């Protein structure tokens, strides 16, 4: 490509990239606040200070995080028992009922129970894989 056509082509590429970036921002970036309306279900919380556990709607959990995040870490929620800001997302084991912090075990599923080793996520994936293998 000679010098006389290189500059217009580069300008065209830059303009196309900027247009694509604006399109993506308008389509997905600016509407992020509305996404919370589709979040359903409950999530468990566990206090690091007093070990109290409680359930809250996932929508409220993610809304609180969205409003209070100020860095790369998830902010703790206030504990309804002791009032300390030390409530973090937890999981209740579907097998033994233990409530533990989400992601306690390393190199495994985030919902794997530290007591009995059961993981609902792992079970769901196994069932989905078996269903796919069976042609369903």
**Listed residue (68, 70, 118) closest to 92, CA to CA:** 118
Intra-chain end-to-end CA distance of the chain, in Å: 53
Report pLDDT for 35.
52
- Give all strands (DSSP E) within 6-83, no chain letters: 42-47, 53-57, 77-78
The pLDDT, as a whole number, for residue 135 is 82
Average pLDDT (69-93) is 92
CA 93, CA 76: separation in Å to the nearest integer?
21
Looking at the DSSP bridge assignments, the partners of residue 42 are 57
Contact criterion met (CB below 8 Å) for 118 and 111: no
Whole-angstrom Cα distance, residue 94 to residue 34?
31
Tokens 């996932």: give the residue: 58
Q: What's the mean pLDDT when you consider all of the chain?
A: 84
pLDDT (tens digit per residue) in 52-79: 999 999 999 999 998 998 888 889 999 9
Calculate what percentage of the chain has a pLDDT beyond 90.
Answer: 54
Q: How far apart are CA 127 and CA 136, in angstroms?
A: 11
């Amino acid at each position: 490509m000679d010098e006389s056509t290189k500059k217009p082509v580069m300008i065209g590429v830059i303009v196309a990239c900027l247009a694509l970036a604006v399109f993506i921002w308008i389509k997905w970036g600016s509407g992020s606040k509305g996404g919370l309306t589709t979040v359903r279900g409950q999530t468990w919380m566990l206090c690091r200070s007093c070990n109290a556990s409680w359930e809250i709607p996932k929508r409220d959990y993610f809304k609180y995080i969205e409003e209070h995040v100020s860095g790369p870490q998830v902010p703790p929620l206030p504990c309804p028992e002791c009032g300390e800001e030390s409530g973090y997302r937890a999981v209740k084991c579907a097998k033994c009922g233990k409530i533990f912090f989400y992601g306690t075990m390393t190199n495994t599923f985030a919902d794997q129970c530290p007591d009995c080793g059961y993981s609902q996520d792992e079970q769901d994936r196994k069932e989905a894989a078996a269903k796919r293998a069976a042609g369903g």
